[in-house]
Structure 1
Amino acid sequence: MGASSSSEQSVPIEQREAESLAASTGALSTLQKCFSNLADPQSGAIPTDALQQCFRLSYENPVTGAFEIPDSFPAVLDQLGSCVVDLFFVSEKGGVSWIELVRGYNRCCARKPLSMCVTSLLRVFTVTLKKAGLNCNLEFETGDNDCKISGWLMPMDVAMLLWMCWGMSWCCRSREFSKEKGSLCLPDVKHIVLSAVESCGEGDSGLNVWECEVSGLEVQLPVGKFVSWVMKTVSSLPGCFTEFVYAVLKHSASEEARLECSTSSAADSSSTGACSSDLLSPGIAWAISLTLMGPLSEEISRACFPTDANAINNDLLYRSHLHGRGLNRFWSNVQGYQGPLLVLISATSEDGSANKRNWIIGALTHQGFENRDLFYGSSGSLYALSPVFHMYPPTGKERNYVYSHLHPTGKVYEAKPKPVGIGFGGSIGNERIYVDEDFSKVTIRHHATDKTYQSGSLFPDQGFLPVEALITEVEIWGLGGRGAKEVQDSYKNREQLFTEQRRKVDLKTFANWEDSPEKMLMDMISNPNVIRREDR
């Protein structure tokens, strides 16, 4: 087998280089096991159709509550496996050899610039659409990952690309690869599609994002602008394909895989609705995860692809309609949590025609809240979540990330009292986002007042003047993992113990009337001039 021949001196230099590149990603042993399980003993290669079956996504009746799914979309998922093999794994007469398996993995998963990763994803999507019998307006000059692309995408093409990536991500997070067709509940990606339309659309299209339907939009999105939008807004989207390829090969390397690789890569997806949040829907959670990398992305992804509803609910620290409104209620639930936090705010404002507009914004902090009268924090991001998705990372010019201030304890006179509430960006008194202490109103200011986060509107048609909106819901999600939650629970238990100790009264002290403070007070009132000697 090619995998075992790498130790021999006669190994070609091309094979050693390919194996070295695969080893740098930590996948060489996985590829060796995969080849051993899938290869035909007679030909010494993996049958092409067997490898295509491994990469095939087959779902039964994908559904979504957002807008109508094209009837041809299930065919797109069915053709994905054959397209991946045809594009990246070169087949010879006997099938895919060891060296071509390693090279194919490197083409998909090796470290390369983000622009090349986006190109690879678009190539897969384009070929898949054409194999499914759909029109695609993208053209590639060569078959390389660094080739030039021309053409455009339609908004519905963007939606199907996002759904294809969602299906691949769900495959990676399934506990096991089912042999039967599974159901697939697709998220609402309208806010992400509208973000691409706003960023890539040419000219003033007069798009009304409050009332438009994605399926009816006839806007051409130039592929050059679309690639730039992906790299700026949803930079982790190409990683869905990379993770999918590795997950399939890793499953194929398992002992139970062999040649009967799964014909479906989905378990029962009905649990995608397990998260009971009003604001952190799977679509919003997935959009935020596409802007992050590492542990933070994995934590927020638990709300996208929940396998344990109780584990997801444990990450919810505060919800205004559940725990009560107000800064004190909020503080009692988030105090002691030392980890990244996601703040979601749903509000209602009125436009110039007195029409009510509902929108959702968010803020990501990389540390817990503190009761301070100054801004603090190490990093963070602001999000426009609905109806249009945008991310505003730090600019690096200022560090006014978070402001959270409670009423000072005791009767302390302050000549210039600091605002009591929660804020993000801007300066004290001119925060870019400010929530009052009753959690009844949120004030949004123009990005010109803020040098901490990048510029942009937090909701459509924001304007230059401050906007005061009525809050409908506030949620706080902890993204620090199990360790941060355990530290907070320990902190709460310690505070509760101290509170109980302060409430306890030593009854023995007041059992004797002669020693009671009441008798001392009465004696002083009856004869205040009497000379009293302190007992020592």
Structure 2
Amino acid sequence: MGASTSTEHKVPNEQREAEALAASTGALPMLQKSFSNLADPQSNAIPLHSLQQCFRLTYKNPVACEGIPLPDSFPALLDHLGGSISDLFFVSDKGGVNWVEFVRGYNKCCARMSASVSLNKLLRVFPATLRKAGSPSNLEFESDDADCKITGSLMPADVLMLLWMCWAMSWYSRTSKISNEKLHLRLPDVKHVVLSAIVSCAEAGSGLNVWDCDFSGLGVQLPVGKFQSWVLKTVPGLPDCFTQFAHGIIKKCASQKDGQECSTSSVADNSSTMANSSNLLSQGMAWAISLTLRGSISDEMSKLCFPHSDVHGIDKNLLYRSSVHGRGLNRFWSNVEGYQGALLMLISATSRDANDDRENERKWIVGTLAYQGFENRDAFYGSPGNLYAITPVFHVYPPTGKEKNFVYCHLHPTGRAYEPKPKPVGIGFGGSMGNERIFVDEDFSKVTIRHHAADKTYQPGSLFPDQGFLPVEALVSEVEVWGLGGRGAKDVQDSYKKREQLFNDQRRKVDLKTFGNWEDSPEKMMMDMVTDPNAVRREDR
């Protein structure tokens, strides 16, 4: 074991501190097993080339999404990823990486740290890997400290490769089954996320047209300070891709048998998953949304991005799709009623300019995340969720904490013939009654988007480019609702639907015994009334 054969007599304090930090995260037994499997028995150290091989991704034929060319340097970037991680975080001597440096290296990658420090580590890996791949980098670090200041800038192509590098790492770390075969690496469409970084970080007056933009050759520089702020605000889960990857690699090495080489590969070939799906929610959208979340909901979103062996299982999360289940609030309600978990609602719409010019149609997608199921109420309700501008530019708008008008879902009232002040019928998010920030009418034909000045519930910002101050009515193309409550929430909904169906069947049943006697039948009563409707009938006492 690494702990028992380490050089404790030379550096006892350093070893004790490193082991204590690893033990605080519960990783010490895993590290001991990994070191035992990887270390050379003679030198009692891990050869550097073996550690580099552990962190190396193997793949074949990386395929980019349609419309975004694959940078020539990206395959080389992935090939040198393992070497960069080993060189940056694991210090080796002539014999290799000893036990203390192995634990230290793990702590540098995976120990508890602030979000800014975690992002700094990811940004260290990226330029180091670029340089190993023979590509230039404009990022400079003032010192070797984890929280040192970073200077320089990134190009849009750099942001694309950084996102795809994180995607490749997450693809491995989110998969349970490990395959040693080289499989295709299919990269998602993250254009909306790259455009978000450009819009947020580029200098004013760049003249960027987000509706029709080819950023592959765009010469816009994004200052690294603004880029860091954008990551922490928009996709705070991006640094976790590296942390989870490093933890998954070492965990796999702990499960390897003695003498068996540790290597990683892309695990699941997603050729038949959401990459080729006709769903509104694409892999790139689901991944971007998952980077804004934490905990179990983030895991549920990641399952939509990185499915396991059951590639058709993601359809179980799709509760409603207007083109399949039918448009309208009633059809919507029949599919989402009884689901008490978190729900992601996507709305695809088309808007035009004031002149109703069809040539200037703009297609965009907005989304909402509600942490509890929809309820038929005539007032706002719910717990804090998020609003999303998804395409063409990705942004997230969390709650402000000032108001609690999170969700509004109101069907036609039952049992009421007349209402002096009828409430709006439809689905709304944010704003106030009649001035919702997002409102979908009961027919699911139009969606109204209002300026954030009318909304104190969610953070300010445009839900699509060039939104303006006036309310915008757009034609709804598609509506989807995805359940993120896990299997438990779906089972509860299924039980609810079965119970409601049983009640409905019981209401439809007719007790024939009640109408077996002609004297008690409703037919005789109707016949008597038709025969002599003015006849005086004395009530039986």
Settle same-fold status: TM greater than 0.5.
Answer: yes
Corresponding residue to 2:413 among 408, 414, 420: 408
**Distance in structure 2 (CA, Å) of the matches to 1:202 and 1:500:** 64
In 2, are the aligned partners of 1:183 and 1:266 still within 8 Å (CA)? no
- Give the aligned partner of residue 171 of structure 2: 170
CA offsets per residue over residues 350-378 of structure 1, 9 Å max, x none? 13562011100000000000100000011
Mapped pair 1:320 → 2:322: yes
What is the one-letter code of the residue matched to 2:84? C
Q: Measure how far apart 1:189 and its partner are.
A: 0.7
- Give the aligned partner of residue 18 of structure 1: 18
Mapped pair 1:71 → 2:76: no
- Give the aligned partner of residue 468 of structure 2: 463
Alignment of 1:113-512 (within 5 A): 113-256=114-257, 258-262=259-263, 264-273=265-274, 276-307=277-308, 308-352=310-354, 354=357, 355-512=360-517
In 1, are the aligned partners of 2:210 and 2:393 still within 8 Å (CA)? yes
**Distance in structure 2 (CA, Å) of the matches to 1:526 and 1:265:** 83
CA offsets per residue over residues 292-335 of structure 1, 9 Å max, x none? 01101010111111122332111110000000000000000000
**Distance in structure 1 (CA, Å) of the matches to 2:464 and 2:374:** 25
Mapped pair 1:38 → 2:44: no
**Distance in structure 2 (CA, Å) of the matches to 1:142 and 1:271:** 46
Corresponding residue to 1:518 among 523, 528, 535: 523
**Distance in structure 1 (CA, Å) of the matches to 2:256 and 2:53:** 17
In 2, are the aligned partners of 1:361 and 1:385 still within 8 Å (CA)? yes
What is the one-letter code of the residue matched to 2:269? D
What is the one-letter code of the residue matched to 2:510? V
Percent identity at matched positions? 70
**Distance in structure 1 (CA, Å) of the matches to 2:5 and 2:431:** 62
In 2, are the aligned partners of 1:155 and 1:197 still within 8 Å (CA)? yes
Q: Measure how far apart 1:484 and its partner are.
A: 0.4
- What TM-score does the superposition give when structure 1 sets the normalisation length? 0.97
Q: Which moved more, 1:374-383 or 1:2-11?
A: 2-11
**Distance in structure 1 (CA, Å) of the matches to 2:240 and 2:178:** 20
Q: Which moved more, 1:241-250 or 1:526-535?
A: 526-535
**Distance in structure 2 (CA, Å) of the matches to 1:309 and 1:148:** 43
**Distance in structure 2 (CA, Å) of the matches to 1:59 and 1:467:** 46
**Distance in structure 2 (CA, Å) of the matches to 1:209 and 1:454:** 22
Q: Which moved more, 1:141-150 or 1:172-181?
A: 172-181
What is the one-letter code of the residue matched to 1:412? A
**Distance in structure 2 (CA, Å) of the matches to 1:269 and 1:479:** 21
Q: Which moved more, 1:334-343 or 1:2-11?
A: 2-11
- What TM-score does the superposition give when structure 2 sets the normalisation length? 0.96
Q: Measure how far apart 1:117 and its partner are.
A: 0.7
In 2, are the aligned partners of 1:50 and 1:259 still within 8 Å (CA)? no
In 2, are the aligned partners of 1:275 and 1:312 still within 8 Å (CA)? no
**Distance in structure 1 (CA, Å) of the matches to 2:167 and 2:337:** 35
- 1:4 is paired with a residue of what secondary structure? helix
**Distance in structure 2 (CA, Å) of the matches to 1:258 and 1:327:** 61
**Distance in structure 1 (CA, Å) of the matches to 2:362 and 2:165:** 31
- 2:50 is paired with a residue of what secondary structure? helix
CA offsets per residue over residues 113-146 of structure 1, 9 Å max, x none? 1111111000000100000000110001112211
What is the one-letter code of the residue matched to 1:390? H
Structure 2 unmatched ranges of 5 or more = none
Mapped pair 1:94 → 2:124: no
What is the one-letter code of the residue matched to 1:517? P
- 1:102 is paired with a residue of what secondary structure? helix
Q: Aligned pair in 2 of structure 1 residues 259, 529: CA closer, same or farther (>3 Å)?
A: closer
Q: Measure how far apart 1:174 and its partner are.
A: 2.8
What is the one-letter code of the residue matched to 1:313? D
Q: Measure how far apart 1:413 and its partner are.
A: 1.5
Structure 1 unmatched ranges of 5 or more = none
- 2:334 is paired with a residue of what secondary structure? helix
- 1:302 is paired with a residue of what secondary structure? helix
Q: Measure how far apart 1:270 and its partner are.
A: 2.6
